[in-house]
């Protein structure tokens, strides 16, 4: 991963073997697994623990110490054969980090004798039962039994789940608020942040403004301005924006405390323009491009969602309003017959200008046109505008409900190569059965107007990560295909 604001995962692979099975069976299968992973994905993500756990709890302790010394922050318990259900689940219980279990499949019909058959297919059942007895959570792949290549793929699929788990346990969200008036939709209880292991520091916009003023004349401003010019060219607003960027990055370093990673959320209107005399959108986009999510309108769960997406993809994400419908004439002229979507499958995702310039074509600095309805246009400069690049996306959000229940949605779709003919950072989005998803999931489950966007199809990884961090699968919504009714969907509609 190229960002320092998300964890790098190193998975310790520990093979386990029941004492009534030949231990070399598990050892040789572990070696084959490591070889297969290295051939497919390289060796940087994994560590092969040389200690095979065979029934003994002392083996478990020794293996645990070995992977700790190797700086592993994730664990794969690999059942090379049936496996010792007590020792292997004690290892998972005492390992402080995300863990997964997978199991070896039988190699061939010629190895089904007493020296070659492993019965790990059976062992996974007992492992799962013992994990439950110990109240120990582990990631279990969709089909957790496979040959060396299959299990290598399972471990690779585990990496984004592990990054989310490790990232949240070391994350601090710094917010500058309070939320704007009439934006109660962004106001959610913070109790679930603590349940997820996330710390939060809530400050006022007055604190931010004071810190900004203290950065006037900062000797580093010119260097930041030059970096901004490389991205979007020269603009008279750049010195102010550079001063603001330094204000935020310094605040992060001075306030992250014992936490390794930071995400931000700020109140960006209406007093912001009055006091700062610009809008912060471009700076938000630049920081997000560097792996530091900054959500708008003090949307704490919005920036939490962005951070999760950053951990999954290792690439910039964005936060958008699920904003406006696609005009029928635009649909008829540019979408119908060219793309396999109904009109109600489409909508426009928009925000004033927080999306990273690498995800926008025609990106340029401008003023925020909506805010200019109530403020002088020159006070509203600093937003980044352009149409969002076409391609696959995952639209999603993790949210705490008013009664402190974690709820999320997860839907894959795309940004269409259709000119928006509009303003801001905006794109024409399409998600299959979006109309029903909008009505029965987003409206029906009381989600706010902000949705996070990963650029690519990452629905599977996101779903697994949400489950792992503790979101009840019953509370993870998705866009139901045609014919698959939502619980409260009118069957006669």
- In tens, the pLDDT along 271-307 reads 888 899 999 999 999 999 999 999 988 999 999 999 9
**192-205 confidence digits (pLDDT tens):** 999 999 999 999 99
> Does the pLDDT of residue 54 top 90, yes or no?
no
Q: How far apart are CA 206 and CA 224, in angstroms?
A: 24
Mean pLDDT of all residues in 345-366: 94
Q: How many CB atoms lie within 10 A of CB 23?
A: 17
Q: What is the mean pLDDT of residues 407-411?
A: 98
Nearest to 11 by CA among 120, 168, 166: 166
State the DSSP string of 355-395. S-GGGEEEEEEEE-TTGGGTS-GGGGEEEEEEEEPPEEEEE
H-helix segments, 220-299 = 221-232, 238-255, 271-276, 281-289
The whole-number pLDDT of residue 112 equals 65
To the nearest whole number, what is the mean pLDDT of the chain? 94
For the segment 210-229, the average pLDDT, to the nearest whole number, is 97
Instruction: Calculate mean pLDDT across residues 425-451.
Output: 97
Q: Residue 48: what are its φ and ψ, rounded to 5°?
A: -90, 110
- If one counts every other C-beta atom within 10 angstroms of the C-beta of residue 210, the result is 11
Q: With contact defined as beta carbons under 8 Å apart, do 423 and 440 qualify?
A: no
Phi, psi of 226 (to 5 degrees): -60, -40
Q: Is the dihedral of CA 306, 308, 310, 312 positive or negative?
A: negative
Q: How many Cα atoms sit within 13 Å of 371 on the Cβ side? A: 27
Average pLDDT on 330-347 reads 98
Q: Are 1 and 162 in contact (CB under 8 A)?
A: no
Confidence of residue 457 (pLDDT cuts 50, 70, 90): very high
**Percent of the residues in the chain that have a pLDDT greater than 90, as a whole number:** 84
Q: Give yes or no for residue 2 having a pLDDT over 60.
A: no
The model's pLDDT over 3-46, given as tens digits with 9 standing for 90+, comes to 699 999 999 999 999 887 888 899 999 999 999 999 999 999 99
- CB-count burial class (<10 Å; 0-12, 13-18, 19+) for 473: exposed
Q: What are the structural domains, with CATH classification, of the chain?
A: 11-167 (3.40.50.10940), 170-477 (3.20.14)
d(CA 314, CA 336): 34
The answer to whether residue 116 scores a pLDDT higher than 80 is no
Least confident interval from 257-271, 352-366, 369-383: 369-383
Mean pLDDT over 98-105 rounds to 97
Listing DSSP states for 200-227 in one string gives EEEEEHHHHHHHHHHTTT-TTHHHHHHH
In this structure, what DSSP letter does residue 442 have?
I
CA gap 397, 386 in Å, rounded: 23
Average pLDDT over residues 373-380: 86
User: 77-90: per-residue pLDDT in tens?
Assistant: 999 998 899 999 99
Give the pLDDT confidence score for residue 1 in this predicted structure.
Answer: 41
Question: How many separate helices (H) and strands (E) can be counted in the chain?
Answer: 15, 19
């Amino acid at each position: 991963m190229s960002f320092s604001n998300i964890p790098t995962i190193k998975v310790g692979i520990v093979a386990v073997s029941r004492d009534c099975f030949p231990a070399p069976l598990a050892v040789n299968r572990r070696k084959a697994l490591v070889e297969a992973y290295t051939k497919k994905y390289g060796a940087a993500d994994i560590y092969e623990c040389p200690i095979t756990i065979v029934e003994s709890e002392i083996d478990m302790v020794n293996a645990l110490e070995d992977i700790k010394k190797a700086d592993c922050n994730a664990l794969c318990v690999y059942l090379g054969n049936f496996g010792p259900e007590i020792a292997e689940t004690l290892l998972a219980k005492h390992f402080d980090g995300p863990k997964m279990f997978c199991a070896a499949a039988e190699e061939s019909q010629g190895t089904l004798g007493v020296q070659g058959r492993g019965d790990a297919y059976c062992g996974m059942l007992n492992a799962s039962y013992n994990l439950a007895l110990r109240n120990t959570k582990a990631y279990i792949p969709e089909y957790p039994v496979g040959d060396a290549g299959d299990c290598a793929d399972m471990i690779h699929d585990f990496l984004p789940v592990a990054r989310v788990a490790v990232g949240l346990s070391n994350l601090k969200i710094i917010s500058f608020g309070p939320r704007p008036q009439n934006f109660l939709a962004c106001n959610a209880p913070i109790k679930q942040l603590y349940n997820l292991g996330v710390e939060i520091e809530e400050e006022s916009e007055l604190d931010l403004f004071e810190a900004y003023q203290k950065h006037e004349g900062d000797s580093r401003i010119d260097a930041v301005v030059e970096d901004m010019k490389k991205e979007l060219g020269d603009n008279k607003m750049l010195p102010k924006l550079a001063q603001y960027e330094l204000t935020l990055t310094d605040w992060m370093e001075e306030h992250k405390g014992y936490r390794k990673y930071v995400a931000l959320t700020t109140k960006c209107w209406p007093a912001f323009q009055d006091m700062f005399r610009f809008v912060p959108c471009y700076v938000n986009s630049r920081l997000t491009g560097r792996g530091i999510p900054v959500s708008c309108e003090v949307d704490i769960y919005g920036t939490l969602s962005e951070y999760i997406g950053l951990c999954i993809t290792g690439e910039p994400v964005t936060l958008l309003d699920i904003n406006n419908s696609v005009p029928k004439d635009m649909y008829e002229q540019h979408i119908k017959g060219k793309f396999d979507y109904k009109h109600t499958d489409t909508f426009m995702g928009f925000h004033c200008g927080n999306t990273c310039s690498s995800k926008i074509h025609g990106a340029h600095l401008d003023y925020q046109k909506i805010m200019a309805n109530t403020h002088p246009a020159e006070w509203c400069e600093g937003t980044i505008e352009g149409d969002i690049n076409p391609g696959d996306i995952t639209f999603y959000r993790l949210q705490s409900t008013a009664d402190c229940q974690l709820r999320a949605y997860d839907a894959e779709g795309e940004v269409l190569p259709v000119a928006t003919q509009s303003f801001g950072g905006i794109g024409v989005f399409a998600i299959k059965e979006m109309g029903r998803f909008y009505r029965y999931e987003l409206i029906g489950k009381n989600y706010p107007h902000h949705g996070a966007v990963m650029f690519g199809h990452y629905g599977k990884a996101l779903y697994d990560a949400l489950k792992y961090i503790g979101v009840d699968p019953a509370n993870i919504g998705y866009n139901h295909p045609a014919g698959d009714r939502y619980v409260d969907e009118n069957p006669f509609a």
